Structure 1
Amino acid sequence: MSEDSLQKLFGNIDIYLFDQLLKGRLIPGMRVLDAGCGSGRNLVYFLRNGYEVFGVDQSEEAIGEVRKLASVLAPHLPANNFRVEPVEQMSFGTEANSQQQTVNGKATSAPAGAEEKNASEAFDVVISSAVLHFARDEEQWQAMIDEMWRVLRPGGIFFARLASTIGMEDRIELIEGRRFHLPDGSDRFLVDEAMLRRVTATAGGKFIEPIKTTVVENLRAMTTWVVKK
């Protein structure tokens, strides 16, 4: 297969997300949410191959690009699968809160219960690729994690690539809290291995991959975090 053919099939998919495909964990037909999808660099393969694809991003322009991409590669998918909203305040599953039912001719709010819970646990896979390190502080970071965990079904896979301190401890400068100044000139919210293990345990998740980190020319470290709910 030519390089152009591979590019057409997979797009610019994250290499560690591609690894999950190779391991057979991401199967056609699954409901996949890219939380912070940008213009859809990680979604090309999923759109082409029968996955039920969703995405959110704060950028209206980015969501417009994803909708265009989906209209070509998976025209059966509703445009509303791709939404302009922050990761920490996604609307997936919350529609149940506003649904109404009619009782004795009067509209009443649907009761909270199993249906609402199941509506939240909607996705087989949630992807967070190069998003979490843009958190303002630990409160926003945790809010994003909580929201992605909310919409992930039991047994579902959470895949994240995020900047970390791992292997960079002597090269980064603390700003405040968990925000650091990196040698590449950027300021990022950085996690470490202990934090990832603590958050995973608190959520009741299970690691299905070792924590893997790539140090890029001593400028930044990108860590892969893959767990099952």
Structure 2
Amino acid sequence: MTYYDQNAQEFFDGTINVDMTSLYNEFIPLIPNASYILDAGCGSGRDTKAFLDLGYKVYAIDASEELGKLAENQVNQAVEITTFQQFSSPQSFDAIWACASLLHVPMTELSQAFKNLASHLKPKGVFYCSFKYGDDEVERNGRRFTNLNEKLLQEVIADSNTTILKTWCTSDLRKGRESEKWLNAILIKE
């Protein structure tokens, strides 16, 4: 997470105002009012704040200490600094929101990350995740990306006790990056 610690403000500024309504519209109808959401890799805190504003309870985690501090200021609550693989909580969540965050986990560790996060979901819990669309691992500007397609997603969630409810592809929602394609998925805990 060195990149995010060193570039926290730049990343925050570039993501905080992105309109995520189209993705929220796929996720929110699947979860009951006042649900408890784990924002896994909260980044700027944009989505945590949106869910809090809608009346949900949200627990936010991120692996970057510097980004976590900026997110805490945004959402006025603590952000736990931890990785997906190390996260542990006595709490069970109704839903997990992992927007453009699990893609930083190396392919060799991705199944374990899914398994660990899903273990914190209640039965029939909803798990949203997104990855850049592809079938490889790349490094760009000091950041590592694990890209997935539908087949690879199915493989990495095989041990997580979740099933795919839906997948769909979107263009990047950030201005000037519309040509970048994303795989979005909603999983359900068995």
Do both share a fold (TM > 0.5)?
A: yes
Q: Kindly state the Cα deviation for residue 54 of structure 1 after the two structures are TM-superposed.
A: 0.5
1:156 aligns with 2:125: yes
Structure 1 pair 61–189 and aligned structure 2 pair: CA distance change class (3 A): same
Spell out, residue by residue over 1:81-135, the C-alpha distance to the aligned partner (whole angstroms, 9 max, x if none).
x201112111323xxxxxxxxxxxxxxxxxxxxxxxxx4xx00110111112222
1:17 aligns with 2:35: no
Helix, strand or coil: the match of 2:42?
A: coil
Give the alignment partner of residue 88 of structure 2, picking from 87, 91, 112: 91
| Runs of 4+ that moved beyond 3 A | 10-13, 184-187, 198-204, 215-220
Tell me, yes or no, if the aligned pair for 1:208 and 1:227 is still in contact at 8 Å: yes
Which structure carries more relative contact order (alpha carbon 8 Å, separation 6+)? 2
Structure 1 gaps, min length 5 = 1-9, 72-78, 94-118, 167-177
Distance 1:197 1:203 in 2: 10
Helix, strand or coil: the match of 1:195?
A: helix
Distance 1:189 1:144 in 2: 13
Partner of 1:37: 42
Distance 1:36 1:44 in 2: 13
Give the alignment partner of residue 148 of structure 2, picking from 188, 191, 196: 191
Matches within 5 A, 1:47-126: 47-71=52-76, 79-80=77-78, 82-93=79-90, 119=91, 122-126=92-96
Q: Kindly state the Cα deviation for residue 19 of structure 1 after the two structures are TM-superposed.
A: 1.5
Structure 2 gaps, min length 5 = 1-15
Q: Which amino acid aligns with 2:155?
A: R
Give the alignment partner of residue 220 of structure 1, picking from 165, 180, 188: 180
| Number of equivalent positions | 170
Structure 1 pair 179–150 and aligned structure 2 pair: CA distance change class (3 A): same
Distance 1:203 1:91 in 2: 15
Structure 1 pair 218–52 and aligned structure 2 pair: CA distance change class (3 A): closer
Structure 1 pair 127–29 and aligned structure 2 pair: CA distance change class (3 A): same
RMSD: 2.9
1:138 aligns with 2:138: no
Tell me, yes or no, if the aligned pair for 1:13 and 1:41 is still in contact at 8 Å: no
Structure 1 pair 15–140 and aligned structure 2 pair: CA distance change class (3 A): farther
Helix, strand or coil: the match of 2:47?
A: coil
- TM-score using structure 1 length: 0.63
- Please say which structure displays the higher CA radius of gyration: 1
Q: Which amino acid aligns with 2:68?
A: I
